[in-house]
Amino acid sequence: MSKTFTPPQTEDARRELEALGLSKDQLPGAIPRHIAIIMDGNGRWAKAKGYDRSKGHAAGAEALIPIIKLCCNLGVEALTLYTFSTENWTRPNSEVGFLMELCPEYLRRERQLLIDNNMRFRHVGKREGLPQTVLDEIDTTLEVTKDHTGMTMSLALNYGSRAEIIDAVQSIAQRVTDGDIKPQDIDETTISDALYTGGLPDPDLLIRTAGEMRLSNYLLWQISYAELWVTDAYWPDFSCDHLREALRNFAGRNRRFGAVEPR
């Protein structure tokens, strides 16, 4: 990342870390540098309550705020949220329309939260296809948070991992054509840097709500060694306590990265 990450040093931050109840031996490396979340289940949440699906999306947007604050306070460096996939355009027009209005409204409303917490904003996904109203709010949020040094909060919006890989391959191929690099110089860093997430560390923890055991075209390259946590809770019900449970479990994992020795 262009700027050195600075974790928050506030009293809230100290308290939140203490509330996790991790031991001193666990603490180094216990907090994921990067958490990616597939926020799923808004529709089922709404259906279970007899509401329209849009109400589920609105409730999902609200549920996100305490999660962002908690991640920020715990010193998480990057939080990447699956908000709208390239495949979600196949949903009914009314639902897509609702989401494309909710998104800019949310960014406008919550911009101050990012500013107050020294967070940087990032859009991960294709700009083409997004309405201008969404792009304008993305650009304003990018601009007002660009000098911040705290957690990077990325919205994966109009995101698909395969589309991302195609874009990356095309940009690398162009660099080869331009004589900027040789084919044999292409390595993992070349590819990582060419993805929409370029510069972010790979996710250490991938959380999926609403119980589905699949990746739905999310960060396929980046999650090669992420730890997985799937909960049955629908996204609008996902609380800070759910996140703490995932984090405690993560802290107890033995990440071997293909080697024999424990970490």
The residue ranges that bind Mg ion (CB under 5 A) are 40
39 touches ligand IPE by CB under 6 A? yes
Choosing from 52, 88, 167, 217, the catalytic residue is: 88
**Among residues 95 and 193, whose Cβ is nearest to ligand IPE?**
95
Query: With contacts defined by CB under 6 A, how many residues of the chain interact with ligand IPE?
Result: 17
Which of the listed partners (ligand IPE, Mg ion, none) does 171 bind, with a CB threshold of 5 to 8 Å by partner kind? none
73 belongs to the catalytic site:
no
116 belongs to the catalytic site:
no
Shortest distance in whole angstroms from residue 160 CB to ligand IPE: 9
Which of the listed partners (Mg ion, ligand IPE, none) does 83 bind, with a CB threshold of 5 to 8 Å by partner kind? ligand IPE
User: Three-class SS string for the chain?
Assistant: CCCCCCCCCCHHHHHHHHHHCCCCCCCCCCCCCEEEEECCCHHHHHHHCCCCHHHHHHHHHHHHHHHHHHHHHCCCCEEEEEEEEHHHHHCCHHHHHHHHHHHHHHHHHHHHHHHHCCCEEEEECCCCCCCHHHHHHHHHHHHHHCCCCCCEEEEEEEECHHHHHHHHHHHHHHHHHCCCCCHHHCCHHHHHHHCCCCCCCCCCEEEECCCCCCCCCCCCCCCCCCEEEECCCCHHHCCHHHHHHHHHHHHCCCCCCCCCCCC
231 touches ligand IPE by CB under 6 A? no
Binding site for ligand IPE (CB under 6 A): 38-44, 82-85, 88, 99, 210, 212, 214, 216
